[in-house]
Structure 1
């Protein structure tokens, strides 16, 4: 499996520790989710909701013009939703700034290699899967 370098590093970090530590890493990442830029203050109108997430999560994807078309990701999730925020932070850390094609090439089930199936419920894992699917859909639309 070929992953962008930052995402591969996260997968390695998660898979190197036990389930309790994975959950702790996820919670730490949840605190690192960047704030939204002002242009997304009206998130309901300008961001897509990921309904599969158990907590309200909104995302926006921007793809730059020209060259490798870097992708930029923006998420909004409430502070009381640390698992959802942690998943979003994995996406930002691992994919933000990557070329569009690299984002599209991420395997749909990459998250299984994080080993979070032992730490969170399958319902929660559906959320990270849905995030990636929506990111890819928005990248495809922007590069079509």
Structure 2
């Protein structure tokens, strides 16, 4: 008896469906397009990579910052710095930004850890590269937990 996989958030599920709708070669092209669409850093992070977390699992120097708003949903904002010379890694960041930025913290924390494998990219890139995307998701979730807990402690709420 096989388990039903944990569902992905809507935007992530739609993006995963887009990847599965095309051939393996076209998935790489789609990944490159997402690489090009990754937004630049806001001014507060430009030149301040020391305030961002380095994703050591990536072969290229990738940095991320996670902000959790002090609103009712604890809306998450994601920021990435990835070199243009690393389009695969930058594309992974693009997938995560496109599908997770703006989610409530609770929804982001519910994203299954196997989500990076649901895009059919393991057939197109090396396991070492997939490890980078898994590392990005893991670090995002860790930072969301940390920031949500810190915010709750500051306001006296229990988690």
TM-score (norm 2): 0.88
In the TM superposition, what is the alpha-carbon distance from 1:29 to its structure 2 partner?
0.6
| Equivalent position to 2:60, from 33, 52, 55 | 55
Higher relative contact order (CA 8 A, sep 6+): 1
The residue aligned with 1:5 is 10
Q: Could you say what secondary structure the match of 2:38 adopts?
A: coil
Task: Tell me how far apart the structure 2 counterparts of residues 111 and 79 of structure 1 sit (CA, whole Å).
Answer: 21
8 Å contact from structure 1 (residues 43, 58) kept in 2: no
Aligned length: 144
Aligned residue in 2 for 1:32: 37
- Unaligned runs of 5+ residues in structure 2 are 1-5, 150-159
Match of 1:46 among 45, 48, 51: 51
The SS at the match of 1:72 is strand
Moved over 2 A (4+): none
**Structure 1 regions of 5+ residues with no counterpart?**
none
Q: TM-score, normalised by structure 1?
A: 0.97
Q: Alpha-carbon deviation of 1:92?
A: 0.6
Aligned-residue offset at 1:99: 0.4
Q: What secondary structure is seen at the aligned counterpart in 2 of 1:75?
A: strand
Distance (Å, rounded) in 1 between the aligned partners of 2:147 and 2:86: 29
Larger radius of gyration: 2
